[in-house]
Amino acid sequence: MNQPVSAVSGIGPRYVEILESMGIHTVMDLLTHFPFRYENHEIQPLAEAEHNERVTVQGTVHSVPELRMFKGKKSRLTVRLLADGLLVKAVFFNQPYMKKQISLNDKLIVSGTFDKHRLQISGAIVKAEEKIKRGGLEPVYSVKGDLKQNKMRQFIEAAVADFVEGVPELLPDSLLERYQLLARNRAFYYLHFPKDESFFLQARRRMAYEELLLFQLKMQWFRQTERKAESGQQKSWSKEAFDSFLLSLPFKLTDAQERVLTEILTDLGGAERMNRLLQGDVGSGKTVIAAAALYANYLSGFQGALMVPTEILAEQHSESLASLFNGMGMTIAHISGSSKTKEKREALERLATGEVDLVTGTHALIQEGVSFHKLGLVITDEQHRFGVEQRRTLRNKGLRPDVLFMTATPIPRTLAISAFGDMDVSTIDQLPAGRKPIETHWGKRNMLPRVMQFIDREIEKGHQAYVIAPLIEESEVLEVQNAIDLHKSFEEALPHRSVGLMHGRLHHEEKDAVMQAFQKNDVQILVSTTVVEVGVNVPNATVMVIYDADRFGLAQLHQLRGRVGRGSDQSHCILLADPKTDVGKERMSIMTETTDGFELSRRDLEMRGPGEFFGVRQSGMPKFKVADLVEDYRILETARKDARTIIETGVLFSHESYREIRAALERDPAFREERVD
Ligand code: ADP
Ligand code: MG
């Protein structure tokens, strides 16, 4: 299995080189070079085919083939086929020689991509009858350079014939039986050569489980080791003092808030270091939970830090914390990129001596040369890109505080587990009482005048509005609305209202002034770029207008929409967009269909896949050969539970039936280099 690929019959030095360049070195590598799709040679009735599906159909040639030659060697051959009572166009690219081989009334079997709207099969190729008879699914592999599809198939066929029986089983019988899984060598075989779809699905399920189980074992084993190595700071605080903080709040916590707070406080008081993700939809009330945790931390004699992605949010958090902690004796410092050098230096000094109890700022906080006296708790808000990297920074500084991540982009639980390492997850799944779902409408851009009238009426009722544009100023290349022009139009159309302008290029003091004016209702309409996207809290605002909304992703639109609906009055979100792409249109309709952040992020994931969903391909996102974190979330959940049992009971280390798994884990380079977080 670990022999070089040259051990497979038919693979000479020339191909060895190409295979190596594809990362295929051993026979095992070749055996696990699974197809990325299959071609179906069964003839299907066209009526049942979906748009853009690959189809194979049988038909009669109904028109003389028409050939068009283009520049270079490009050509297009079109022929009309009568198939299943439909007249479809089959389009062959760059196969000019086919013209002579096709004549009127021939019977043809053709396969290609079906455009249901134009009744066209493009990228057509003619299939030989005998292949159809054999039936089944034909594997399609990724290939490179001179190593073409047919050669690759031939190599893999040879490797499978000679070696697949010897592929060792990894999983113990107990698990194979529990889930009725195919043996590993059978799964390999059927992934390459499935007799039909059901064989493929069985094989895939087996391999996905194996991959996800190994992944979870790796993560949890690592976590256990890490936990042993670094015991946390066991905190204790006066319950009385803490309760007086809760009593000072202007509202009662929701049941969901109570629950997550208990989970967090248990972590703080426990011997293990907290590593927890707190997720809750926009407006579910995460800030006060953060404050409560910070307060317990303070009462235990530790310093706390709250980090957020933007300066505006940092500013706002520092203010709302200051008012929540008013009279509680805490010293709070705010460090921002725009703080004056002298002020900053002073704040840093006071942090180092322990004079400051709580610091707020952007995540630059931990990257710069900040030192703490006795850091006990770090909370980050609204950053689902925060994680692996930042925890490592903390660790490298020798800091071992409790860590809480808060996010309002609800991440499907299982994906959170993988992207953030194996964290504990708390979820606020309830909004404070009295909130009305935001009404969302989608209109064309030319509806702006009507929208202005609507805003005017809302202001008449004492409310406020946000108007968002994608750009700051006019762009020569993009035909997209900009904040500066939009601000002008609003001032002209509604001269009796005060209209503010906010964007990233304003000076720090200007931003502050605008934000404060909006907070105090001195400004009724805030025209802004997405700098107000996360966290900003002005409960009196009831209208959110998003211009060129198709430019934004679903998560971002949901965040923006979450700026309203924060009080007890009915709020409205108006999306103005003339989307040019299907994706844009789909986003608009999803937004009008649901206000549930979990549902939205599920659909977002479906549309974009996990890599893009997280913005960057982070180092923490594992790559799988078969498993798919979105599609296989149920399997992941099962694998996670199983991994936990296997580690906690110790069978992984003691039991003979786990020897192969143990060996596989130890071979994993990520594991050896301690790169798992
Ligand atoms: P998010 O989870 O989006 O960060 P916030 O913490 O900003 O939400 O809270 C949104 C609004 O709800 C704030 O105005 C906050 O004061 C208010 N709020 C939070 N918890 C409650 C509660 N239990 N009852 C009523 N209002 C609450
Ligand atoms: Mg928030």
pLDDT in tens, 482-496: 899 999 999 999 999
Average pLDDT value for residue range 609-630:
60
Please state which of the ranges 21-30, 108-117, 209-218, 312-321 shows the lowest mean pLDDT.
Answer: 312-321
Atom 4 (ligand 1): residue with closest C-alpha?
Answer: 286
Q: Among 566, 568, 595, 598, say which to mutate for ligand 1: greatest number of ligand atoms within 8 Å of CB.
A: 566
Question: How many angstroms is it from 284 CA to the middle of ligand 1?
Answer: 6
Q: Choose among 211, 116, 240: nearest CA to 622.
A: 211
Q: Point out the ligand 1 atom lying closest to the alpha carbon of residue 287.
A: 6
Nearest ligand to the C-alpha atom of residue 568: 1
CA 406 to ligand 2 center in whole angstroms: 8
Q: Which residue has the higher pLDDT, 649 or 408?
A: 649
Lowest mean pLDDT among 257-261, 442-446, 472-476: 472-476
pLDDT beyond 70 at 574: yes
Residue 673: pLDDT above 50? no
pTM of the model: 0.66
Q: Which residue has the least CA distance to atom 10 on ligand 1?
A: 283
Residue 51 predicted with pLDDT over 80? yes
Question: Both tokens of residue 27?
Answer: 């026979």
Q: Residue 677's pLDDT is what?
A: 40
Taking alpha carbons only, the member of 373, 324, 326 closest to residue 348 is: 373
Mean local confidence (pLDDT), 32-49: 84
Among 272-276, 348-352, 542-546, which stretch is predicted with the lowest mean pLDDT? 272-276
CA of 30 to the centre of ligand 1 (A): 55
Mean pLDDT, residues 421-434 taken together: 80
Phi first, then psi, for residue 603 (nearest 5°) are: -70, -35
pLDDT tens sequence across 76-87: 999 999 988 889
Q: What is the mean pLDDT of residues 453-466?
A: 96
Whole-angstrom Cα distance, residue 57 to residue 41? 9
Tell me: the pLDDT tens digits for 2-34? 899 999 999 999 999 999 999 999 999 999 999
The closest of 133, 158, 140, 132 to 11, measured between CA atoms, is 158
Question: Ligand 1 pocket by C-beta < 6 Å: which residues?
Answer: 251, 253-254, 257, 280, 282-288, 408, 432, 535, 537, 539, 566
Contact status, residue 303 vs residue 356, Cβ threshold 8 Å: yes
Ligand number, closest to the Cα atom of 313: 2
Please give the Cα distance from 365 to 371 (Å, whole number): 10
Q: Looking at the predicted structure, is the pLDDT value of residue 155 above 70?
A: yes
Angle between helical axes of 554-561 and 597-613 (0-180°, round to 10): 140
Q: In order of start, what are the domains of the chain with their CATH numbers?
A: 5-36+147-196 (no CATH), 42-135 (2.40.50.140), 239-269+284-407 (3.40.50.300), 439-594 (3.40.50.300)
Confidence of residue 141 (pLDDT cuts 50, 70, 90): very high
Q: Is the pLDDT assigned to residue 610 strictly greater than 70?
A: no
User: What is the C-alpha separation between 560 and 574, in angstroms, rounded?
Assistant: 11
Ligand nearest to the CA of 559: 1
The sheet with strand 439-443 has its strands ordered as: 439-443, 572-576, 541-547, 464-468, 525-528, 499-502
Strand, helix or coil for residue 458 = helix
Report how far ligand 2's centroid is from the alpha carbon of 178 (Å): 43
Q: Whose alpha carbon is nearest atom 16 of ligand 1? A: 285
Give bridge partners of residue 140 from the DSSP assignment. 37
Q: What 8-state DSSP symbol labels residue 4?
A: B
Residue 385 CB coordination number (10 Å): 16
Q: Buried b vs exposed e over 189-225: b needs ≥16 C-beta within 10 Å?
A: bbbbbbeeeebbebbbbbbbbbbbbbbbbbbbbbbee
SS3 244: helix
Residue type for 94, please?
A: N
Residue 17: its pLDDT value, please?
A: 94
| Alpha carbons 561 and 282: distance in angstroms, whole number | 9
Please list, in sequence order, all residues whose beta carbon lies within 8 angstroms of the beta carbon of residue 489, skipping any fewer than 6 positions away: 448
Check residues 335 and 182 and name the one with the higher pLDDT. 182
How far is the centre of ligand 1, averaged over its atoms, from the C-alpha of 539 (Å)? 9
Strands (E), 292-387: 303-308, 332-335, 358-362, 375-381
* Token pair for 434: 């009295």
Which has the higher per-residue pLDDT, 342 or 523?
523
How confident is the model over 386-405, as a mean pLDDT? Answer: 70
Does residue 228 carry a pLDDT above 90?
A: no
The answer on pLDDT for 415 being more than 70 is: no
Number of alpha carbons in the 13 Å side-chain half-sphere of residue 153: 12
> Reduced to 3 states, what is the DSSP secondary structure of residue 188?
helix
**pLDDT for residue 603:** 80
| More confident of the two residues 59 and 219 | 59
pLDDT at position 48: 81
* Residue 479 neighbours by CB under 8 Å, 6+ apart: none
The whole-chain average pLDDT of the chain stands at: 85
Q: Are strands 107-115 and 54-61 parallel, antiparallel or unpaired?
A: antiparallel
What is the rounded distance in angstroms from the CA atom of residue 30 to the CA atom of residue 151? Answer: 13
Query: What is the reported pLDDT for 414?
Result: 57
Instruction: Look at residue 179 in the predicted model and tell me its pLDDT.
Output: 96
Rounded average pLDDT over 589-611 = 78
Could you tell me if 288 and 406 are in contact, meaning their C-beta atoms sit under 8 angstroms apart? Answer: no
Which of 98-112, 137-151, 226-240, 516-530 bottoms out in mean pLDDT, i.e. has the lowest? 226-240
Cα of 573 from ligand 1 centre, angstroms: 19
Calculate mean pLDDT across residues 132-160. Answer: 85
Q: What's the distance, Cα to Cα, between the start and end of the chain in Å?
A: 30
User: Rounded to the nearest whole angstrom, what is the distance from the C-alpha of residue 566 to the centroid of ligand 2?
Assistant: 11
Per-residue pLDDT, averaged over 505-523, amounts to 90
Query: According to the model, what pLDDT value does residue 401 have?
Result: 86
Ligand of minimum distance to the alpha carbon of 281: 1
Higher-confidence residue of 310 and 194: namely 194
* Residue with the larger pLDDT of the pair 515 and 617: 515
pLDDT of the residue at 400? 79
Q: Which of 245, 426, 428, 537 is the pocket-test mutation for ligand 1 (most atoms within 8 Å of CB)?
A: 537
What is the rounded average pLDDT of the residues 369-394?
74
Lowest mean pLDDT among 160-164, 336-340, 500-504, 559-563: 336-340
Please tell me the distance from the alpha carbon of residue 145 to that of residue 17, in angstroms, as a whole number.
11
> Residue 296 pLDDT > 80, yes or no?
yes
Write the pLDDT tens digit of every residue in 196-208: 889 999 999 999 9
What is the model's pLDDT at position 74? 87
Mean pLDDT of 329-347: 82
- Position 207 scores a pLDDT of 96
